[in-house]
């Protein structure tokens, strides 16, 4: 069931009405049932994976809490705590490995065997269907187990409430990856119907729908034919498609996050933001503080810091940074081009950190005002350029295709192309070009306002009813008239569903 589907348009109001009609003591049971139904709309049999992950991490948490509260030998207590955490981690990671990385591992083993001339010893394997959202709910469950082990939170004693935390339908399939200290704690308290929550939530959902069906899906109809037939495309076509893809993936993923945040808000829950205007950043490090925040913070807290973070010297810090970004790339997909994407972004961060002092000295020597608007614009353009290079590895189907596309772009680079007829032909018609420019302008304008600390939703909701409804109708009209529906389009799932 997609957020941008008619089914969800029916499903969500029913969940909302029933939730606030039931007694506060059983509302979470209803939400749990609705969340399981929501997931089973994709593939019912994979619901068992969520249940097993839930049961094992819940049981591990309860045992860890009991061990911690019991008086006894400290060494023995630590043994049981570590054992529970290890069992929880091993189960979840093995399930994730089998469904997401087993084929990748076998392919690479067979490749190595083939290089050694041992074709007859190759392993046979069958195609495995990747369960939707497995990387997200697995990391969420693992984060809970680690938090209990560290003593950061108390273990949840109510199985159904914890099961809801793992499977909460707004963010189940593609995040944000929530922490137990935020979402699970909210589920322990009763939420009440509030008109303000409904107004803010629906407005947030509407903007998310705009990002998905008006911007991301429209851009997909331009990008996909170019990348699918990349061998016959000009380098400048590929460059334009890559730049558009940077906005497609942002609007697609932020669109999902906004709908998730908004639907949770309507039900009285607060989900953390996943993006904070990342393309307005003036450095790579700044970009990664504002892009897919829930994942980057997860890797920071549960991998980077346990590895030593920046506490054991610069070289160890850089090694830890590379490990985190390589793991992030592998988390996104079982393919070497995803690993290359992660490694390239890790390298960006290492180079920036290593050269920061020299860069500051150069700016000081030439008396460059690093706070000046034009300087920030230049840094922002450079950052956007570097990020776009990495997006080629993310979007392409493999390493060979990624490298070939970059070579084509380099060999055919010509800015005058942007003023030629070939550029306009990519959009199909002048109408499509205008709609694309207008919709992207809205996205950039909204991000600029957010970056300046301007609360757009509160401003709109403070207006008189006539102006509010004028704005609501404008959003509805835009989504219906400009959205990716009808002939020439096909309803596409969110990009991050594949991860």
pLDDT in tens, 352-402: 999 999 999 998 888 888 889 999 999 999 999 999 999 999 999 889 999
How confident is the model over 73-99, as a mean pLDDT?
91
Question: In the structure, what pLDDT confidence band is assigned to residue 486 with cuts at 50, 70 and 90?
Answer: very low
Alpha-carbon distance 366 to 364, whole Å? 6
Residue 72, class by beta-carbon neighbours within 10 Å (0-12 exposed, 13-18 middle, 19+ buried)? Answer: exposed
**Residue 346 structure tokens:** 């890790």
Per-residue confidence (pLDDT) for residue 476, from 0 to 100: 86
Q: In terms of C-beta distances under 8 Å and separation of at least 24 residues, what long-range contacts does 3-12 make, across chains too?
A: 3/208, 3/209, 3/212, 3/256, 3/259, 3/260, 3/263, 3/494, 4/209, 4/212, 4/213, 4/491, 5/491, 7/41, 11/38, 12/263
Per-residue confidence (pLDDT) for residue 125, from 0 to 100: 62
Per-residue confidence (pLDDT) for residue 331, from 0 to 100: 93
* Range list of β-strands (E), 347-408: none
Per-residue confidence (pLDDT) for residue 304, from 0 to 100: 94
Q: Does the annotation count 332 as an active-site position?
A: yes
How confident is the model over 62-80, as a mean pLDDT?
86
Alpha-carbon distance 344 to 304, whole Å? 17
State yes or no: pLDDT of 491 exceeds 60: no
Per-residue confidence (pLDDT) for residue 485, from 0 to 100: 56
**Residue 27 structure tokens:** 């509302």
Which of these ranges, 107-111, 123-127, 420-424, 489-493, has the smallest mean pLDDT?
489-493
Cβ count near 318 (within 10 Å)? 18
Alpha-carbon distance 304 to 299, whole Å? 6
**Residue 42 structure tokens:** 């994709």
State yes or no: pLDDT of 170 exceeds 50: yes
Angstrom CA distances, 480 to 4, 183, 473, stand at 12, 33, 10
Alpha-carbon distance 444 to 496, whole Å? 22
Alpha-carbon distance 54 to 138, whole Å? 9
Per-residue confidence (pLDDT) for residue 117, from 0 to 100: 52
State yes or no: pLDDT of 130 exceeds 70: yes
Point out the catalytic residue in the list 237, 292, 332, 337.
332
Tell whether the torsion through CA atoms of 340, 135, 9 and 443 is positive or negative: negative
Question: In the structure, what pLDDT confidence band is assigned to residue 111 with cuts at 50, 70 and 90?
Answer: confident
Write the DSSP assignment of 273-329 as a string of letters: -S-S-GGG-SSHHHHHHHSSHHHHHHHIIIIITTTTTTSS-HHHHHHHHHHHHHHHH
State yes or no: pLDDT of 16 exceeds 60: yes
Backbone conformation region of residue 133, classed left if phi is above 0, alpha if psi is from -120 to 50, else beta: left
State yes or no: pLDDT of 123 exceeds 90: no
- Of 160 and 310, the one with more pLDDT: 160
State yes or no: pLDDT of 490 exceeds 60: no
Q: What residue segments make up the domains of the chain, in order of their start?
A: 6-102+128-193, 197-498
In angstroms, the first-to-last Cα distance of the chain is 16
Which of these ranges, 58-62, 232-236, 260-264, 482-486, has the smallest mean pLDDT?
482-486
* Sequence-ordered list of residues with C-beta below 8 angstroms from that of 224, at least 6 positions apart, any chain: none
Write the DSSP assignment of 60-109 as a string of letters: HHHHHHHHHHS-S-HHHHHHHHHHHHHHHHHHHHHHHIIIIIHHHHHHHH
State yes or no: pLDDT of 451 exceeds 80: yes
Tell whether the torsion through CA atoms of 356, 360, 366 and 372 is positive or negative: positive
Q: Which residue has the tokens 């809490």?
A: 65
State yes or no: pLDDT of 488 exceeds 50: no
Question: In the structure, what pLDDT confidence band is assigned to residue 223 with cuts at 50, 70 and 90?
Answer: very high
Which of these ranges, 29-38, 70-79, 180-189, 321-330, has the smallest mean pLDDT?
70-79
DSSP state of 43: -
**84 neighbors 149 (Cβ within 8 angstroms):** yes
pLDDT digit string, tens, across residues 247-305 = 999 999 999 999 999 999 999 999 999 999 999 999 999 999 999 999 999 999 999 99
How confident is the model over 232-250, as a mean pLDDT?
92
State yes or no: pLDDT of 432 exceeds 70: yes
Alpha-carbon distance 30 to 48, whole Å? 19
Alpha-carbon distance 179 to 294, whole Å? 9
Task: Give Dmax over CA atoms of the chain in angstroms.
Answer: 78
Packed helices 235-266 and 217-228: angle between N→C axes, nearest 10 degrees: 150
């Amino acid at each position: 069931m997609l957020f941008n589907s008619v089914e969800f348009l029916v499903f969500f109001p029913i969940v909302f009405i029933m939730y606030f009609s039931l007694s506060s003591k059983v509302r979470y049971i209803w939400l749990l049932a609705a969340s399981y139904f929501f997931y089973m709309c994709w593939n019912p049999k994979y619901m068992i994976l969520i249940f097993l992950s839930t049961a094992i991490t819940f049981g591990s948490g309860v045992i860890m809490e009991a061990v911690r509260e019991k008086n006894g030998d400290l060494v023995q207590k630590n043994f049981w705590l570590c054992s529970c955490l290890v069992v929880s981690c091993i189960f979840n990671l093995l399930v994730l490995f089998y469904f997401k990385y087993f084929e990748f591992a076998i392919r690479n083993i067979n490749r190595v065997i083939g290089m050694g001339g041992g074709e007859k010893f190759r392993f046979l394997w069958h195609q495995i269907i990747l369960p939707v959202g497995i990387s997200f709910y697995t990391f969420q469950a693992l984060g809970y187990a680690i938090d209990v082990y560290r003593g950061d939170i108390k273990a949840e004693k109510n199985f159904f409430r914890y099961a809801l935390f793992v499977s909460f339908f707004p963010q189940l399939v593609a995040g944000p990856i929530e922490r137990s200290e935020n979402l699970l704690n909210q589920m322990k308290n009763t939420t009440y119907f509030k008109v303000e929550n409904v107004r803010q939530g629906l407005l947030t959902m509407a903007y998310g729908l705009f990002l998905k069906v008006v911007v991301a899906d429209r851009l997909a109809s331009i990008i996909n034919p170019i990348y699918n037939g990349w061998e016959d495309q000009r380098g400048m076509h590929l460059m334009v498609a890559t730049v558009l893809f940077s906005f497609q993936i942002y609007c697609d993923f932020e669109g999902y996050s906004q709908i998730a945040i908004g639907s949770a808000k309507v039900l009285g829950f607060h989900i953390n933001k996943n993006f904070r205007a990342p393309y307005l950043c003036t450095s790579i490090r700044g970009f990664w503080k504002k892009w897919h925040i829930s994942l980057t913070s997860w890797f920071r807290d549960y991998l980077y810091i346990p590895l030593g973070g920046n506490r054991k010297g610069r070289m160890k810090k850089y090694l830890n940074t590379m490990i985190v970004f390589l793991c992030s790339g592998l988390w996104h997909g079982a393919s070497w081009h995803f690993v290359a994407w992660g490694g390239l972004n890790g390298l960006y961060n290492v180079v920036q950190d290593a050269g920061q002092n020299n860069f500051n000295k150069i700016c000081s020597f030439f008396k460059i005002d690093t706070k000046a608007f034009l300087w920030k614009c230049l840094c922002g353009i450079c950052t956007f350029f570097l990020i776009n290079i990495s997006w080629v590895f993310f979007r392409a189907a493999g390493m060979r295709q990624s490298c070939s596309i970059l070579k084509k772009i380099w060999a055919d680079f010509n800015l005058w192309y942007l003023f030629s007829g070939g550029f306009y032909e990519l959009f199909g018609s002048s109408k499509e070009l205008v709609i694309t420019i207008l919709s992207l302008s809205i996205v950039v304008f909204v991000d600029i306002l957010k970056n300046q600390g301007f609360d757009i939703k509160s401003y709109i909701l403070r207006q008189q009813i006539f102006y509010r409804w004028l704005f609501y109708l404008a959003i509805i009209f835009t989504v219906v008239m400009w959205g990716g529906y009808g002939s020439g389009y096909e309803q596409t799932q969110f990009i991050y569903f594949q991860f």
